[in-house]
Amino acid sequence: MSATASGTLGHARGTLAGVLLIAASASAFGAMAIFARYAFASGADVYGLLAVRFTLAAIAMAVVMRARGIRLPHWRRVLALAAMGGIGYVSQSYCFFTALNYAQASLVALLLYLYPLFVTILAAVFLKERLTTPAVIALVLCSVGAGLTVGGGQGSPLGIALGVAAAVIYSIYIVVGARVTAGVNAIATTTVICTAAALVYLTLGILRSAAGTPPQFPSDAGGWLAMLAIALLSTVLAILTFFAGLQRLGAAKASMLSTLEPVVTVVLAAVLLGEHISAAQAVGGGLILAGVLWLTRRASGTPPADASGKQQAG
């Protein structure tokens, strides 16, 4: 076999591996809302779920950092990252997971995926980036899609508002994070953000306990397994596979493949939770994803959202 053929085969294998890694990451992120529903059904509340999630994720990511010999950045950068986790990510995750108590998981997942659109708008308003024709087309597609999705899905006004708020907060988080995380190892970034979020939720748990309303945890093994899955599969594994796939595919392809995430949520919600997907919601979700894909394809030089923020999907 010639060197050229060998190189081509190696590239093809690397690309396939990247596709599978991003698909695995998107599937793990997409399953998070489903796991959350099972945890809530067994008695957990948002405070208990997120305290466990971020604590376990922070510990696991710290182990990964140590195993790979990754060091923390300068303390000033650590403080900035901690603020991102303790303020931005705590707010976003609270809105997302609380929304799951008031709206369909599929609806919340699709509303969250409006964040690339909000990032584009924020960049145009505050960073003075030019609003291009592709961005305007994506804006129209996502706006129409959001209207159809909200109209066709099942959710209270509070659930819908929290779902949109999660997307808006996440978009702010990304715009700010683009500067704060520049030049910092992605694993170190994720570890600091998870640790800060864990400390905030643990502190809230202590304060709520002192006030007589302690965090609630699952009452059975199934609920605890769901919480462990959120922390280890839908957070740690999802982040690590995303970065591994990103290295093989690059930003543009990884971003486009990541749109599999809400599709996984919608399908799992229908199969496992029995959620009805109306025709309007299906069309609306399709328009949202089409808008995101169009925007991503045209902005091929823009890196995708930091996966640490996806601990969202949260």
Residue that is written with structure tokens 């990541």 in the block: 258
Per-residue model confidence (pLDDT) at position 245: 86
pLDDT digits (tens, 9 = 90+) for 236-276: 999 999 888 888 877 667 777 777 888 889 889 999 999 88
CA-based end-to-end distance of the chain: 47
**Minimum mean pLDDT range among 45-54, 57-66, 72-81, 113-122:** 113-122
Report the percent of the chain where pLDDT is more than 70: 88
Choice between 28 and 11, residue whose per-residue pLDDT is larger: 28
Given a cut of 60, whether residue 1 has pLDDT beyond it is no
**How much is the pLDDT for 8?**
64
137-145: average pLDDT: 81
Q: Cα–Cα distance between 188 and 275 in angstroms, integer?
A: 38
pLDDT tens for 183-227 read: 889 899 999 999 999 999 999 999 999 999 999 999 999 999 999
Report the 10 Å Cβ neighbour count for 146: 24
pLDDT of residue 304: 44
Q: Find the range with the poorest average confidence among 1-10, 66-75, 114-123, 237-246.
A: 1-10
Say whether pLDDT at 129 is over 70: yes
Asked whether residue 68 carries a pLDDT value surpassing 70, the answer given is yes
Q: What is the CA radius of gyration of the chain?
A: 19
C-alpha span between 236 and 242 (Å, rounded): 10
Nearest to 194 by CA among 53, 33, 30, 49: 53
Q: Which span out of 146-150, 223-227, 295-299 was modeled with the highest average pLDDT? A: 223-227
For the cut 50, the answer to whether the pLDDT of residue 234 exceeds it is yes
Range 134-160 average pLDDT: 80
Q: What does the pLDDT read at residue 5?
A: 53
CA angle (190 as vertex; 45, 158 as ends), nearest 5: 35
**pLDDT above 60 (res 45):** yes
CA distances from 296 to 19, 119, 134, 138, 200 (A): 16, 12, 10, 10, 33
Q: Structure pTM?
A: 0.86
Q: Who wins on pLDDT, 295 or 133?
A: 133
Is residue 10 over pLDDT 70? no
**By C-alpha distance, which of 122, 54, 69, 101 is closest to 308?**
54
Give me the pLDDT at residue 312, please.
45
Most confident of 17-21, 82-86, 296-300: 82-86
Predicted confidence at residue 305, as pLDDT, reads 46
Higher local confidence (pLDDT), 295 or 220: 220
* pLDDT of amino acid 277: 80
Tokens at residue 189, please? 């970034």
Contact yes or no for 30/263 (Cβ under 8 A): yes
